[in-house]
């Protein structure tokens, strides 16, 4: 009888296959833990809280800073704006100012102003084309405006009326944004805040002319969204001003 009792050994000592699921880590673990390796590290860093939520007073302070600095900039830089407009007019045929459709906060579309830096028929077929660092469509005057960021000065008006902020993710054209949303996970999170004239990606990355470079750009934008604060905005503004006379990092 003693030799037959082994078949009735208590289940605890035999550790049957039906042990609790938590210890067996089944293959159907949450998708968030199985994200593909080619996704930017920053998008995997905070899957549950990708965007910081500044307090009401900090949001108001950021907006107040936008209004004060944009209005001051328009007044103080008026001679520079006029000189830039004259230079663009003399550089060749085409409009002085471009008003391009861009995707803003919550996916809304607005018209972003900027000085024309390319030849008049840069997009002859009507389709948006990503700019490159040594783009042959850029005029000589346009290269100066781009390298000094002066081509973005008209966007101070977009900031003043509340369509943009001084600091935030750069707005993309709807056609390009639609492509990126379909190819890059979490791209839509950039639309959670107002787009900016400058941003963390602009002071940390070079030109973005393909999907892989936009993928890296997103990692910088998500870092900003997670850590956005007035202090970080001031750091970005200071770095933007200090780089105004160095080769431009982003278009």
Half-sphere exposure of 51 (CA within 13 A, CB side): 14
Q: Which residue has the tokens 């105004």?
A: 244
From first CA to last CA, the distance across the chain in angstroms is: 85
pLDDT digits (tens, 9 = 90+) for 49-66: 556 666 778 889 999 999
**For residue range 11-46, what is the model confidence (pLDDT) as tens digits?**
444 444 444 444 444 444 444 433 333 334 444 444
For residue 174 the two structure tokens come to 């709807």
- pTM more than 0.85: no
Reported as a single tens digit per residue, the pLDDT across 118-174 is 888 777 666 666 666 667 788 999 899 988 889 999 999 999 999 999 999 999 999
């Amino acid at each position: 009888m003693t030799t037959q009792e082994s078949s009735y050994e208590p289940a605890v000592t035999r550790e049957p296959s039906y042990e609790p699921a938590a210890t067996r880590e089944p293959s159907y673990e949450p998708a968030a833990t199985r994200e593909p390796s080619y996704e930017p590290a920053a998008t995997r860093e905070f899957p549950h809280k990708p965007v910081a939520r500044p307090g009401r007073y900090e949001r108001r302070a950021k907006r107040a800073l936008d209004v004060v600095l944009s209005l001051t900039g328009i007044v103080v830089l008026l001679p520079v704006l006029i000189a830039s407009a004259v230079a663009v007019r003399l550089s060749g045929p085409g409009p002085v100012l471009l008003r391009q459709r861009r995707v803003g906060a919550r996916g809304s579309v607005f018209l972003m102003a900027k000085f024309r830096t390319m030849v008049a028929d840069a997009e002859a077929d009507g389709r948006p084309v990503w700019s490159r660092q040594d783009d042959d469509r850029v005029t000589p005057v346009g290269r100066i405006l781009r390298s000094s960021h002066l081509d973005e000065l008209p966007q101070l008006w977009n900031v003043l009326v509340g369509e943009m902020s001084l600091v935030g993710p750069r707005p993309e054209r709807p056609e390009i944004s639609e492509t990126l949303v379909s190819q890059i996970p979490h791209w839509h999170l950039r639309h959670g805040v107002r787009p900016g004239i400058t941003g963390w990606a602009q002071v940390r990355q070079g030109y973005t002319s393909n999907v892989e470079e936009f993928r890296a750009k997103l990692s910088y934008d998500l870092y900003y969204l997670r850590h956005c604060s007035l202090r970080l905005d001031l750091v970005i503004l200071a770095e933007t001003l200090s780089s105004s006379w160095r080769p431009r990092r982003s278009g």
